[in-house]
Amino acid sequence: MIVKMKRIVLMTVLSVPILFSASLYLPFPKGKLRPAPVVSLSLVDRNNTVLREILSDEGGHCRWVTLAKISPNLLKATLVAEDRYFYLHPGINPFAIIRALFQNIRYGRIVSGGSTISQQVVRNIYRKRRTLFAKSHEIWLAIRIERTISKDKIFTQYLNRIYYGNQAYGIDAASRLYFDKSPADLSLAEAAFLAGLPRSPSTHNPYSHFNQAKKRQEQILHQMFKQGYIPSAKWKRAKGESLKLIAAKKNFRAPHFCDFILQKIPLSQKRMLSRIQTSCDYALQVKVEKLVGDHIQSLEKKSITNAAVIIMDNATGEILSMVGSKDFFNARFDGQVNGTVSLRQPGSTLKPFTYGLALERGMTAAEILEDKDYYFPTPDGSYSPRNYDKRFHGKVRLRQALACSYNVPAVTLLDRLGTDLLYQRLKLMDFESLDKSPSHYGVGLTLGNGEVTLLELTRAYSVLARGGIYLEDRSILKCFDTQEKEIIGDRQEKSRRIFSSQIAFILTDILADKDARVPAFGYLSPLNLPFACAVKTGTSADFRDNWTVGYTPKYTVGVWVGNFDATPMYNISGVTGCGPLFKDIMLLLENKNPEVKFTRTEDVIKVKICPLSGNLATEHCPGTMEDIFIEGTEPQEFCPVHTGTDEPKGFPPDREEEFEIAFPQDKEVFKIDPILRRPFQRIKLKTNIPDEMAIDHVEWWIDNQKFGDASFPFSLYWNLKPGLHRIKAVAHKGKNRWKASSVTIKVEE
C-alpha cells in the first residue's frame, strides 16, 4: 500500500509540470481582446469636431487605433519605458522578475513588478488584485497570449488599453487630451512625455504633478539615447523642447442635438461603436445658438423665455443645426427640454398643405374665395372661424388668402375638401404626432388645433422646397465600430412624391410673394429678405406658440418661440415673435448667395389677370397683375366686372341684386365612389341669395338644359354623372331676372 501511494504521489508530481507546460499551448480567449469594453463613443459633427464623449464601460475615453496611426517616436519611447526586450521574450522576462523581487525585498514593499507589456495587457483585461496567485495567473496568461496573437497585435492591445490618467485610456485619448493632436503627429518630446505616464498616472499627472512627469520624460529620453534609438542631437533637442500642455476640457457641444442622436441608437448598438459622424455643422450651430440667445433676451419683456430652431439641407434632408432651447443648463426655464421635438400647436403653418390640396382639385392662385362669416356644426354646437385681425375681407384671391394667412377661407376650403384628405396627406409626410382620428381635429386641423413638432413641420416644408418630394430627415452620416470600420449611417427610405412639382412651385411662389402679404404684414415685415424666400408664420391659441417656417432652394428653417410651461406670451404673433430670428438665420445662411431664387417648373405659365375678379384682364380693368397657372387651368373668360360700361356688373359685393352659386364652386372635381350606389351619389345645388332680394324661385340649368325650379331655400339635389358639366342659376322676382355666374365642374369615374 505504501509503495502504491508513493507511486501515485510521484506520478502526480511529475504530471503537474507536464500539464502546466501543456496548458501554455491553450489559446488565449480572443473574446477578451475585443475593444468594446474600453472604447468610448465620440459624437462628432460633419467636419469631425468633437461634440460629446460618452464614457466607456471602463469609465474613460478611448479610441482604438492601429500601430500605423501612432508615431514611431511613441512606439520606441514606450518600449524603452516599459519593456525594452518585448520583441525578444516569450511573454515574461525572468531577469526583470528576479530584479523586481530583489528590489521589493530591499525596500520592504512592492516597488516594481517586473511586468512585461504582455503581462500588462493581461492585467488590464482581467483587473485582479495584485496577489501572488494573481501574479502567477498573469504570467500563465501572458505566455498564452504570446502563442495566440502576434507581438504587434499585443503591442496594439497595450497602447489602446493602458491608462494615461484623467479618464484617458489608450494613446489616442491621451494624445488628444494633453496635446490636442493625433498620436501620429506627436513630437519626440511629447511621445516620451506620454510614454512615462502609465507607470504611475496619479503621481505623474501632468495637471497636478507636471514636474514629476517632466522628470520621467527626461529619463526616458536619456535611455532612448543610451540604447541607440535616437542620436545625440535629437536627444538634446527633445530634452529642451517646451511642452504645450492643453488645459483639461469637457466636450458638451450641441447638447440637444447629441441627446437626439443618442436616443436614436439602442444601448446594445452604442457599445459596438466608437464614433458617430453626425450631420451637424458645429460652426453654424454656434452662430445659431448665439442668435437664439440674443433674440430671447430682447423679448424678455414680452414674457418669452425660450426658442427652438431646426436648419435642414434640402438636397439631402440632413439636419445642419438643432437648437432645442435658449440655454440647456437653465433649469428655471426647463432648458433641457428639446423644443424641436416637443408637441406644440402649429397655428397657421399647416395652411399651405390645405391650399395644395385645393390646387390639386383644379383651383388656381387667382381663384376668388369668400372671407365672410361662416358657421360650421360641431359636436359641441357651432364653430365660426375668425381672422387674426378680427375682420372679414370679402372676396379675396387664393394667393392673398394664403399669403395673408386669413383663417376663414382656409377653413371653408377644408370643409369642402374634407378633413380626412388633409390628415392623410400630413400622415404621408410622417406627422406621427397627429395620432387621433381626422374627426377629432375637424376643420380646425388647418388652423393647427393638433399638436406637432418643429422637426415634423420643418421636414414638411422641405417637401415644398424640394418640388413636392418627401425625404426623411437625416442626422447620422457615418458610424464607426470599435476598430474604426465604417458603418452606414441613417438609411433613408426611397423618396416619395407628395405634391406635383407645379403645385409645389405655385405654393412656393405665393409664400415668397412680398406684395401679396402686405395687407396683413405691411411693407416693413421681417419676413422680407433681399433674396427669394418662401415663408409662413403661425400663432397658436392664446399666444402660447409662435412659429415661422420657410425655405430657400438650399435650406429649410423652422423657428419656434414660446414658453415650455405653456404660459401665454404678451400679444406676440409669429411674425413679431419668430420673424426677426428667422430673418437673421436666413441672412446668415445665404449671405454668400444673394442672387438665390426659385426656378419655375415646366407647364407653369404667367397670365395677366384682373386682381379683383381673377379673370383675364381687359383694357377696362383699372389695374392688372400677372399670376401663375398650371398650363390648362388659366382663366378662359374675360373680367366680368370691368366691362367698359358706366357701371361694373356683379360688384361690389353689397349690391342688392348680386348673388352667386354657393355650391358647387367653379372648377371643383368630384369622384364617383365605385362602391356606393349611384342614386346616393349626389350633390346639393345651393345659392347665396340675400333675404332682402325676396326672390320667388330659382331656375337651375345644367349643360344648357333646364334641370328644375326651386323655391326657398332655392336648392336642388343633382345626381353625379361622369364628365364636364356647366351649371347656371337664374333668380326670378316677378318679371325681373338675375343670372349668377356659371360654374364648371368635373365628375370623374
pLDDT, tens digit (0-9, with 9 covering 90-100), for 293-342: 999 998 888 889 999 999 999 999 999 999 999 999 998 999 999 999 99
Q: Among residues 423, 489, 472, 480, which one has the least CA distance to residue 452?
A: 423
Cis bond leading into 713, ω under 30°? yes
pLDDT at position 544, please?
Answer: 87
pLDDT at position 649, please?
Answer: 45
Query: Do 113 and 205 fall within a single domain?
Result: yes
Query: Residues 702-740: pLDDT tens digits?
Result: 877 788 888 877 888 888 888 888 888 888 887 777 888
- What confidence category does residue 25 fall into, taking pLDDT thresholds of 50, 70 and 90? low
Q: What is the pTM of this model?
A: 0.75
Query: Residues 198-229: pLDDT tens digits?
Result: 999 999 999 999 999 999 999 999 999 999 99
- What confidence category does residue 657 fall into, taking pLDDT thresholds of 50, 70 and 90? very low
Does 340 map to a domain? yes
Overall average pLDDT of the 121-136 stretch: 80
Overall average pLDDT of the 257-282 stretch: 91
Overall average pLDDT of the 93-107 stretch: 66
Query: Residues 36-61: pLDDT tens digits?
Result: 788 889 999 999 999 998 888 778 88
Last residue of a domain, which of 240, 262, 284?
240
Give the integer Cα–Cα distance in Å for 322 and 256.
7
Does 263 map to a domain? no
Residue 542 has pLDDT above 80, yes or no: no
Does 517 map to a domain? no
Cα separation values, 279 from 170, 319, 552, Å? 27, 6, 19
Let me know if 249 is exposed, middle or buried by CB neighbors in 10 A (0-12, 13-18, 19+). Answer: exposed
Query: Do 631 and 726 fall within a single domain?
Result: no
- What confidence category does residue 692 fall into, taking pLDDT thresholds of 50, 70 and 90? low
CATH code, 548: 3.40.710.10
Residue 653 one-letter amino acid: P
Overall average pLDDT of the 505-511 stretch: 98
Residue 569 one-letter amino acid: M
Q: Which value, in Å, is the radius of gyration of the alpha carbons in the chain?
A: 38
Residue 557 has pLDDT above 80, yes or no: yes
| 20's grid cell | 502546466
Query: Do 361 and 337 fall within a single domain?
Result: no
Residue 484 has pLDDT above 90, yes or no: no
Mean pLDDT comparison of 106-115, 320-329, 641-650, highest-scoring range: 320-329
Does 38 map to a domain? no
CB-based contacts of 36, cutoff 8 Å, min separation 6: 57, 271, 272, 482
Overall average pLDDT of the 253-279 stretch: 91
Query: Do 372 and 472 fall within a single domain?
Result: no
Percent of the chain whose predicted confidence (pLDDT) is above 70:
90
Instruction: Please report which residue ranges of 378-517 form alpha helices under DSSP H.
Output: 398-403, 407-417, 419-428, 438-441, 454-465, 501-511
Query: Do 461 and 441 fall within a single domain?
Result: no
pLDDT at position 653, please?
Answer: 37
Domain extent, residue 479, equals: 273-345+454-492+522-598
**Three-class DSSP labels, 233-277:** HHHHHHHHCCCCCCCCCCCECCHHHHHHHHHHCCHHHHCCEEEEE
**Three-class DSSP labels, 44-86:** ECCCCCEEEEECCCCCCECCCCCHHHCCHHHHHHHHHHHCCCC
Query: Do 418 and 476 fall within a single domain?
Result: no
Does 506 map to a domain? no
Residue 643 has pLDDT above 80, yes or no: no
Query: Do 319 and 361 fall within a single domain?
Result: no
pLDDT at position 338, please?
Answer: 97
Query: Do 307 and 441 fall within a single domain?
Result: no
Does 277 map to a domain? yes
| 661's grid cell | 352659386
Residue 501 has pLDDT above 90, yes or no: yes
Last residue of a domain, which of 222, 240, 258?
240
CATH code, 130: 1.10.3810.10
pLDDT at position 652, please?
Answer: 37
**Average pLDDT of every residue of the chain:** 87
Say which residue, 574 or 748, is predicted with more confidence.
748
Overall average pLDDT of the 347-356 stretch: 97
Overall average pLDDT of the 602-624 stretch: 89
Last residue of a domain, which of 598, 616, 636?
598
Q: Among residues 235, 237, 256, which one has the least CA distance to residue 319?
A: 256
| Number of domains composing the chain | 5
pLDDT at position 490, please?
Answer: 67
CATH code, 682: 2.60.40.10
Query: Do 226 and 109 fall within a single domain?
Result: yes
Overall average pLDDT of the 662-686 stretch: 79
Q: Which of 189-198, 347-356, 482-491 has the lowest mean pLDDT?
A: 482-491
Query: Do 315 and 208 fall within a single domain?
Result: no
Query: Do 98 and 232 fall within a single domain?
Result: yes
Say which residue, 180 or 357, is predicted with more confidence.
357
Say which residue, 541 or 221, is predicted with more confidence.
221
Residue 300 DSSP class: G
Pairing mode of beta strands 273-278, 41-44: parallel
- What confidence category does residue 109 fall into, taking pLDDT thresholds of 50, 70 and 90? low
Q: What are the φ and ψ backbone dihedral angles of 606, each rounded to 5 degrees?
A: -105, 135
Overall average pLDDT of the 459-482 stretch: 95
Query: Do 329 and 292 fall within a single domain?
Result: yes
pLDDT at position 533, please?
Answer: 96
Question: Which residue's C-alpha cell is 522576462?
Answer: 93
Does 253 map to a domain? no
pLDDT at position 654, please?
Answer: 33
Q: Are 85 and 97 in contact (CB under 8 A)?
A: no
Percent of the chain whose predicted confidence (pLDDT) is above 90:
54
Does 163 map to a domain? yes
pLDDT at position 646, please?
Answer: 46
